[in-house]
Structure 1
């Protein structure tokens, strides 16, 4: 395994960073506060092929892996544009369909993912089943050639701007993944009011006997469990990438300020009380990036089990890094850290969310304790 990214990956990062800089954090925050979407950014990224880098070439994509898509996600976040739907639509949904979908399903959905003209949300969390996916109650059953879906999901991102939702449901033989178009009869949703500064909104979904065609279930109905895990590892990798990118942005702002701000005739960055915390967090960000790249490399090589361990560790490390980065960046700016001009306070909510979603730090620690260290389960 190489610890240096390929020339192609490095070139991709450079191109995406330059592209993201054309929009930047001010654009992202202005859109978020106005209740608007970053549609222009998404559409241009799609036309340039950045959203479809991991879609197979035969369906119009770049033919790369999750590592390439994670690089795109990280660089956009570092430019100030963390696109939450990148974690969901091209990473989870497109990956699952590419790996497990029928040829008809691949032909139907993947070209849209590749071009960025299709967005799909992912729904697994339920009101009474957060981290415990064994308690899912949303169920699907056969009715002739059709499927009938009934249940509720909550904290689902971006439903108001997608074409369909990939829903984890339960049938007699276990979980299945069902593609539900947002215009399906019996499918409604309610926005959850949040204090996050982000263009993507959160929703509770209601499926009231939604009738779906026979091809709504992805691939074979008996492969649902494999499909869920095939989607969750990329989700963790992408979540880590978005977090490390945003952490780089926050530290970059802090370092720039610490170099320019003069107190007692010297830059405040000369004082170890500020320079050491920033250096420590820079190290933590780089360590999280390295683990994220390892997780992606393992996933792209088909080593799902090992990737699961690394992806969880990467998600944990990245969540801790961004929370520390934004906090220290605000501290470095003093009172200015809470002003709109410097754009750091708006990052607080999302930085804290990175320690909760898509999997909480406590559940990651449970996973590592039980699977890496072979300690007994506590639940």
Structure 2
């Protein structure tokens, strides 16, 4: 399918190389199998993680400790190509790099960085991020997970929910209330009292491992606490990093749905001609392309702002809100063009459409991002 606006011509040589490398990996290692993974509710994380690490995709936008140290736009392009395969694949990379590695890299001690970042960058260790709770999703300030001091140790109690990679993780970055405010803790998952049962019966992000985390008197040394941050600034800065990957990633999901719809419209014959020759179908495809191209432009612009050190969280909210909505609309239109075939896993559309229902919600619901923009416009907070 033609890139009518020639958006990728704005990428530099390194960014195009990353695009092509990740696209080839997805075509060879993911697309032939992801329909089965989705249907079976499995994801071969332990098999794929070292391969993703060898490509430099884990923590790729971080410097040192075995990380690739790419620019932000390169990270975005990689997320786009990963999510063109499946949102679960991009989620795995986003959680590993932006939610688990980033807080250790930004706020961790030298010991924490040396212990965890090199094996995580290589895909030899898997991380997860514990913020969302069963009763506190959009309102993390009121989380109930609590860490109390006991001598020189911390004792952690509570629970987290909807945690990607939770049941396979080697380390969890967990945020908890303390007597001194919200703190982050680097928790090895083999610590006594830590359990992470997998969540089943999902109809979205099925090719992804989602778990609950439970902490029952989990005893941690002082060295487990992240020394470089206190308060909500810590977890929110991690979410901003991950949301940047999302606003790029969903452009890939949208493109995959649009490409499937265009190819189907060119080959599916009804009433003696391809359905793509009918005006109603062409109108759908035209608006789908407009939405996908606008999302791509937004991603490119925000990537340039991030590379210049000028990206603000409210701009990330704009990108996450606008691009996920656009991608979901495109997926739904593609499903309609494919008719009955649109609900089968022989085509990628229903898989992307179901996945995007989760992407719309996680790492900030559309309602929360709407209120972020509302506050930016009016100066008035409307969260309560």
The 1:81–1:230 alpha-carbon spacing in structure 2 relative to 1, beyond 3 Å, is closer
Q: What 5-or-longer segments of structure 2 have no aligned partner? A: 1-7
Q: Which has the higher contact order (CA 8 A, sep 6+)?
A: 2
Residue equivalent to 1:332: 337
Using the TM superposition, name which of 176-185 and 75-84 deviates more. 75-84
Residue equivalent to 1:67: 73
The 1:361–1:67 alpha-carbon spacing in structure 2 relative to 1, beyond 3 Å, is same
Residue equivalent to 2:360: 355
Matched, 1:131 2:111: no
Picking from 145, 163, 188, the partner of 1:181 is 188
Using the TM superposition, name which of 237-246 and 73-82 deviates more. 73-82
The alignment of Structure 1 onto Structure 2 pairs a total of residues equal to 374
Is the contact made by 1:295 and 1:308 (CA closer than 8 Å) also made in structure 2? no
Is the contact made by 2:35 and 2:346 (CA closer than 8 Å) also made in structure 1? no
Picking from 50, 53, 67, the partner of 1:46 is 53
1:344-368 CA-partner distances (Å, limit 9, x unpaired): 3233321212221121111111110
Residue equivalent to 1:202: 210
Q: In angstroms, what is the RMSD of aligned CA positions?
A: 2.2
How far, CA to CA, are the matches of 2:218 and 2:123 in structure 1? 27
Residue equivalent to 1:298: 305
1:227-281 CA-partner distances (Å, limit 9, x unpaired): 2222011121122222221111111111111111122333211222112222212
Q: What 5-or-longer segments of structure 1 have no aligned partner? A: none
Is the contact made by 2:205 and 2:358 (CA closer than 8 Å) also made in structure 1? no
Is the contact made by 1:29 and 1:198 (CA closer than 8 Å) also made in structure 2? no
Is the contact made by 1:80 and 1:249 (CA closer than 8 Å) also made in structure 2? no
Is the contact made by 1:260 and 1:267 (CA closer than 8 Å) also made in structure 2? yes
How far, CA to CA, are the matches of 1:238 and 1:376 in structure 2? 26
How far, CA to CA, are the matches of 1:81 and 1:351 in structure 2? 8
Picking from 114, 117, 120, the partner of 1:113 is 120
The 1:42–1:274 alpha-carbon spacing in structure 2 relative to 1, beyond 3 Å, is farther
- 1:1-379 matches, cutoff 5 A: 4-39=10-45, 40-56=47-63, 58-80=64-86, 82-83=88-89, 84-193=91-200, 194-196=202-204, 198-220=206-228, 222-303=229-310, 306-377=311-382, 379=384
Residue equivalent to 2:5: none
TM-score when normalising by structure 2: 0.90
How far, CA to CA, are the matches of 2:130 and 2:87 in structure 1? 23
